[in-house]
């Protein structure tokens, strides 16, 4: 009997990487809160998750096919990491120096991302513990 990590761990094995990347982007925003002209960025979670896991949200749709040489080649887009990084629109007007970082929003996003990261880690720890128990022959 083979064991599929996708079935055991689900999407959580991929969310760890995406949440870690998002934490780095948000930390960079906070570090540049006073940098003139700096534009706040964020990770497009759904796009990043699809890139990490090759998970398709709509598996019922047929794949896109390039039928003309004038069409864009979408096969290159699947491995493009920059597609997941987007500029964030500020809630308040520009401060005059062109910086769009709002520290309170960034702190809230960082805290929310950390909680979601910890939830995925706890889920994975639980699954690993159950697997270890099963391998030892214990009851779960």
Per-residue pLDDT tens listing for the chain (140 residues): 566 777 778 778 888 888 999 999 999 999 999 999 999 999 988 788 777 776 555 554 556 667 777 776 666 555 544 467 888 888 886 668 889 999 999 999 999 999 999 999 999 999 889 888 988 887 64
Q: pLDDT tens digits for 89-104?
A: 888 866 688 899 999 9
Residue 112: the pLDDT is 96
Residue 47: the pLDDT is 80
Q: What is the pTM of this model?
A: 0.70
Helix or strand run (H / E) with residue 42? strand 41-43
Q: For residue 42, which of 15, 22, 19 has the smallest C-alpha distance?
A: 22
Quick one: angle between helices 103-136 and 12-31, nearest 10?
150
C-alpha to C-alpha distance for 135 and 3, rounded to whole angstroms: 12
Residue 46: the pLDDT is 79
Contact partners, residue 73, CB within 8 Å, separation at least 6: 66
């Amino acid at each position: 009997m083979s064991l599929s990590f996708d079935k055991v761990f689900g999407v959580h094995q991929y969310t760890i990487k995406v949440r870690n990347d998002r934490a780095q982007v948000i930390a960079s925003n906070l570090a540049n809160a006073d940098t003139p002209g700096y534009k706040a960025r964020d990770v497009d979670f759904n796009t990043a998750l699809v890139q990490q896991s090759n998970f398709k949200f709509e598996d019922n749709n047929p794949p896109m096919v390039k039928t003309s040489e004038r069409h864009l080649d979408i096969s290159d887009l699947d491995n493009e990491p920059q597609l997941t990084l987007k500029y964030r629109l500020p809630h308040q007007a520009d401060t005059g120096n062109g910086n769009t970082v709002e520290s309170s929003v960034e702190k809230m996003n960082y805290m929310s991302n950390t909680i979601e990261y910890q939830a995925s880690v706890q889920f994975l720890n639980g699954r690993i513990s159950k697997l270890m128990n099963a391998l030892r022959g214990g009851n779960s």
